Amino acid sequence: MRLTRRALLLAATLVATSTSVSRAADPDPYADLRHRWLALSLGEGYDPTAEPYASRLAETAELARAFRTAMAPAPTSLWPDRPYDPPSGITQSYSRLWTMAQAYVQPGTGATGDDTLLADVLRGLDHLSATVYNPSTTRYGNWWEWQIGSPRLLMDLVAALHDHLTDTQRQAACAAVDHFIPDTMLTDYSGTSTGANRVDLCRSVALRGILGRAPDRIALARDALSPVFPYVTRGDGLYPDGSFVQHTWVAYSGTYGQVLLDGLGRLFALLAGSAWEVTDPARQIVLD
């Protein structure tokens, strides 16, 4: 059977529906959405001793051990081989912490619930927050690392470790996202905030709103998806023939196009049935 974008997005929504039913008794909409995001990101209801899960979980644990051993906080890096300049080193540092966090929170890794591993992840998060990814830093180098790569991973980390973080730590993460993704990035559909990039930006801001209990941020992210939906006749976006363009003229159906559909599927699923559900009728264009 050919996997269409309709099938992909509807499948994501079905996952969200089943997750929301299982958590229907949760009176806290922000906690409900956070749990739903983790179900979408990490999965649930699987047997960690069965393949292919067992092998993948073991690989995660092995990587986490290696990253943990090599971590050596310094003024300009968290790992010696990943300096903050170029800023890809910041994103890669968050990626390594995310691997370590997955080894901690997921079942069957051999490091599940390891308090010393958790302590190292938190130490790494605090170090990145204190030394580079904070509102007092002026971004340099590739914009993508600051506005998409790093915040996306940071929000995943805060979602997964939410109950182990202090309010101060959570608010510091939210403040960093607010600084590096200002409102203007989502109110002006131009430049680097179009197509798949716009969806990625909305993902981080929506999660920031959920984790920071800021309904206006969730609404901003939801509403900022609308310019992505209509067909275009030039520039970035979906075309009536089913093709997708990013970077003004490059046919990117299999790369940025995949990012766009994955991101929309996640956000449609995340917000379905909530006060922030994506209800713009133009979303149907993406499903068709």
Q: Residue 137 belongs to what domain range? A: 46-180
Q: Are residues 134 and 82 in the same domain?
A: yes
pLDDT interval class at 27 (50, 70, 90): confident
Q: Are residues 116 and 71 in the same domain?
A: yes
Of 130, 208, 99, 120, which is closest to residue 164 (Cα–Cα)?
120
Q: Is residue 190 part of a domain?
A: no
State yes or no: is 247 an active-site residue.
yes
Q: Are residues 54 and 91 in the same domain?
A: yes
Q: Are residues 261 and 172 in the same domain?
A: no
Query: Which of the 8 DSSP states describes residue 145?
Result: I
pLDDT at residue 64 is higher than 80: yes
pLDDT interval class at 7 (50, 70, 90): low
pLDDT at residue 22 is higher than 50: no
Q: Does the predicted TM-score (pTM) go above 0.85?
A: yes
Residue 204's contacts (CB-CB under 8 Å, 6 or more residues apart) are 148, 151, 152, 155, 177, 181
Q: Are residues 132 and 163 in the same domain?
A: yes
Q: Which strand (E) or helix (H) includes residue 153?
A: helix 150-160
Of 144, 201, 212, 206, which is closest to residue 173 (Cα–Cα)?
212
State yes or no: is 197 an active-site residue.
yes
CATH number at residue 169: 1.50.10.100
Q: Is residue 209 part of a domain?
A: no
Q: Are residues 58 and 174 in the same domain?
A: yes
Of 114, 116, 90, which is closest to residue 103 (Cα–Cα)?
114
Q: Which of 94, 133, 197, 252 is catalytic?
A: 197
Q: How far is the CA of 53 from the CAs of 59, 111, 261, 274, in angstroms?
A: 10, 15, 25, 31
89-142 pLDDT tens trace: 999 999 999 999 999 999 999 999 999 999 999 999 999 999 999 999 999 999
Q: Is residue 170 part of a domain?
A: yes
